[in-house]
Amino acid sequence: MRCLAERVLVIGLGLIGGSLASALRTRGICRTVIGYDRDSDELEAGLRLGIIEEAATDLLAAAAGADVIVLAVPVKAIETVLAEILPVLRPDTILTDVGSVKGNVVRSATGLFGYVPRRFIPGHPIAGSEKSGVAAADATLFEHHKVIITPLPQSDPDAVTLIARMWQSVGAQVLQMDVDRHDEVLAATSHLPHLLAFSLVDTLAQEQDCNDIFRYAAGGFRDFTRVAASDPTMWHDIGLANKQAILQKIDEFTSGVDRLRKAIETDDSVAMLGIFTRAKAAREHFS
């Protein structure tokens, strides 16, 4: 694999940042992979596990020397880190992020720079798990997964190409999408299911005999609620950052549940079977 960049700095060495750093290193896609994390234990673990070649302790010096910077911190911290590195960013440095929401990242960049820099290409890997931290990093995490990048009309085409090639070279399929469309689609396919899982488990956990309920939970319950073990702070940030799109999807979902409730209450088998049959056909079509 030809070297895509000399020095890639990954800021936030958790599950996603650590997995990307590890994949870039394993496949020799850039000359040096440098990690930075505000948690020194994560940084040291990254070095010890061979996920990064260099651990940066001075964020500004590392950012000033990087050709590509990947922001892999929680959604809310992206603006904080952007503000920190802003004074030392070189005009030729290519910047990207991995945040699960894109509208807020674009708004943060606009607020800080006055515009979205031409070489800042927002991105979002559609891969991950309920685990967090560098110990869960996996160099194969992005293989056969999609990564959505959301360039803007003014984005530098060379920067778009480099970020797309970076993800392709770690095994991902890269798609381009408009920022608002990304946030609408992800609210439906990722954010709503996570929030429903949290809400279901929380509701059941408050029942008096919840230990009994969970003891008898079978595969369906485990499948449906696996993501309720995800990091609460991460999902707090996503919930607020994509508020409008998520509220809209919660309202649509609530109407759907109301329709199902009414069908059950009134013994309306036609309506019930209609809902289940349409859902089964749709699920089989896309899986």
Residues that bind ligand NAD (CB under 6 A): 11-17, 37-39, 42, 72-75, 77, 80-81, 98-100, 124-125, 128-129, 132-133, 231, 234
Q: What are phi and psi for residue 220, nearest 5 degrees?
A: -60, -45
Distances (CA, A) of 202 to 58, 214, 254, 282: 41, 12, 17, 28
Q: How far is the CB of 137 from ligand NAD (least distance, A)?
A: 8
Q: How far is the CB of 242 from ligand NAD (least distance, A)?
A: 10
The four Cα atoms 35, 36, 41, 44 give a dihedral, to 10 degrees, of 30
By beta-carbon proximity to ligand NAD, the closer residue of 69 and 201 is 69
By beta-carbon proximity to ligand NAD, the closer residue of 25 and 124 is 124
Q: How far is the CB of 109 from ligand NAD (least distance, A)?
A: 15
Q: How far is the CB of 105 from ligand NAD (least distance, A)?
A: 9
| CA–CA dist 280, 255 (Å, integer) | 19
Distances (CA, A) of 138 to 45, 128, 172: 14, 10, 14
By beta-carbon proximity to ligand NAD, the closer residue of 17 and 103 is 17
**Beta strands 123-126 and 68-71, pairing class:** unpaired
By beta-carbon proximity to ligand NAD, the closer residue of 60 and 213 is 60
By beta-carbon proximity to ligand NAD, the closer residue of 242 and 263 is 242
Q: How far is the CB of 151 from ligand NAD (least distance, A)?
A: 18
| CA–CA dist 44, 55 (Å, integer) | 7
Q: How far is the CB of 146 from ligand NAD (least distance, A)?
A: 11
| Closest residue by Cα to residue 189 from 146, 159, 220 | 146
By beta-carbon proximity to ligand NAD, the closer residue of 38 and 107 is 38
